[in-house]
Structure 1
Amino acid sequence: MSKTGFPDKFTRRGAMGAAGAATLAVTVPGLAHTPGRKPNFLFIMADDLGYADLSCYGRREYETPVLDGLAAQGMKFNHGYANSAVCSATRVGLITGRYQYRLRVGLEEPLGDRSLGLDPAHPTMPSLLREAGYHTALVGKWHLGWLPDFGPLKSGYDEFWGCRGGGVDYFTHSVGGNPDLWDGDVQVEEVGYMTDLLGDRAIEYLDQRAAEDKPWLLSLHFTAPHWPWQGNNEEGRAESARLAEHGPTIPGSLDITHFDGGNMETYAAMVTSLDMNIGRVLTRLAELGMEQDTVVVFTSDNGGERFSDNWPFTGIKTELLEGGMRVPFIVKWPGLTLPGSETDVPALSMDFLPTFLSAAGSAPHPDYPSDGMDLRSVLAGAVPEDRYLFWRFWAKDQRAARKGDYKYLHIAGEEYLFNVVADPLERANLKFRLPEKFAELKGAFDSWNEGMLNVPEARSYRFTPRELADHFGWDS
Structure 2
Amino acid sequence: MRKTLVATAALGLALAAMPAHAAPARKPNVIVILADDLGYGDTGVYGSKIVKTPNIDALARDGVRFTQGYVSHPVCAPSRAALLTGRYQTRFGYEFNPVGRDRNGGVSLDETFIGQVMQKAGYHTGMVGKWHLGQSGDYHPVARGFDEYFGTTAGANAFIVDTRPGDEFHTPPGAEATYGTAEGGTGLGPGSEAAQMVVLRQRSPITRGREPVEVKEYLTDAFTNEAVRFIGANKDKPFFLYLAHTTPHTPLQAPAKYIDRYKDVPNKGQRVYAAMVSALDDSVGAVRAKLKAEGIEKDTLIVLLSDNGCAGYIGDACTNAPLNGYKGTHLEGGVRVPFVMAWPGHIQPKVETRVVSSLDIAPTAAALAGATMPKGSDGVNLIPYLTGKNAATPNPTLYWRSGPNFAIRDGDWKMWMVNRADPTEQASTGSSITPDGVKATMSPLGRFVMLYNLKDDPSETRNLAKEQPDVVARLQAKIEAWDKANVPAQWTSMRQSTRRIEGELVKLYP
- Report TM bin, short chain: 0.7 to 0.9
Correspondences of 1:177-256 after superposition (within 5 Å): 177-210=202-235, 212=236, 214-233=237-256
d(CA) in 1 for partners of 2:268 and 2:206?
A: 23
Cα distance between partner residues in 1 of 2:61 and 2:348: 9
Q: 1:59 to 1:118 in 2, by over 3 A?
A: same
The offset of 1:380, in angstroms, is 1.9
Counterpart amino acid of residue 451 in structure 2: L
Q: Indicate whether 1:358 and 2:378 are aligned.
A: no
CA distances 1:263-297 after superposition (whole Å, capped 9, x unpaired): 11001110011101221121011101110100011
Residue type of the partner of 1:215? P
Q: How does 1:33-432 map to 2 (within 5 A)?
A: 36-110=25-99, 112-172=101-161, 174-176=198-200, 177-210=202-235, 212=236, 214-233=237-256, 263-305=269-311, 306=314, 307-339=317-349, 341-366=350-375, 369-381=376-388, 382-385=390-393, 387-394=396-403, 397-412=404-419, 413-432=447-466
Give the CA deviation at 1:111. Answer: 7.1
Give the deviation of 1:38 after TM superposition.
Answer: 1.0
Deviation per residue, 1:135-158 (Å, 9 max, x gap): 000011101011134210110000
Separation (CA, whole Å) in 1 of partners of 2:362 and 2:487: 21
Residue type of the partner of 1:411?
V
Q: Distance in 1 between matches of 2:345 and 2:377?
A: 25
Distance 1:85 1:460 in 2: 13
Secondary structure at 1:62 match in 2:
coil
Shift, 1:80, TM fit = 0.4
Q: 1:459 aligns with which of 477, 492, 495?
A: 492
Contact 2:74 2:335 survives alignment (8 Å): yes
Aligned to 2:183: none
**Deviation of 1:312 (Å):** 1.2
State the SS of the aligned residue for 1:365: coil
| Distance of 1:331 and 1:35 partners within structure 2 | 25
Going from structure 1 to structure 2, the CA distance change for 1:358 and 1:33 (only over 3 Å counts) comes to: farther
CA distance, structure 2, for counterparts of residue 150 and residue 156 of structure 1: 10
Q: Distance in 2 between matches of 1:425 and 1:35?
A: 48
- Call closer, same or farther: CA 1:163–1:34 in 2, change over 3 Å: farther
CA shift in 2, pair 1:469/1:81, >3 Å: same
For residues 22-43 of structure 1, give each alpha carbon's deviation from its aligned partner in whole angstroms, at most 9, with x where no partner exists. xxxxxxxxxx999722110011
Q: How many pairs does the alignment contain? A: 406
Identity %: 34
C-alpha displacement at 1:181, in angstroms? Answer: 0.3
Distance 1:475 1:415 in 2: 13
Q: Distance in 2 between matches of 1:148 and 1:123?
A: 16
Task: Give runs of aligned pairs for residues 17-32 of structure 1, distance below 5 A.
Answer: none
Normalised TM-score (structure 1): 0.80
Aligned AA (2:467)? R
* 1:239-279 deviation digits (Å, cap 9, x = unpaired): xxxxxxxxxxxxxxxxxxxxxx9611001110011101221
Find out whether 1:446 has 2:480 as its counterpart: yes
- In structure 1, the gaps of 5 or more residues are 1-31, 237-260
Aligned 8 A contact 2:305 2:340 in 1: yes
The one-character-per-residue Cα deviations of 1:384-405 (angstroms, maximum 9, x if unpaired) are 14621001123xx421011111
| Shift, 1:132, TM fit | 0.5
Letter in 2 for 1:304: C
2:258–2:276 Cα contact (<8 Å) kept:
no
Give the aligned partner of residue 181 of structure 2: none
Q: Which amino acid aligns with 1:377?
A: P
Quick check: 300-309 or 60-69, which moved more?
300-309
- Over 3 Å counting, the alpha-carbon distance change for 1:318 and 1:175 in structure 2 is farther
Superposition RMSD in Å: 2.5
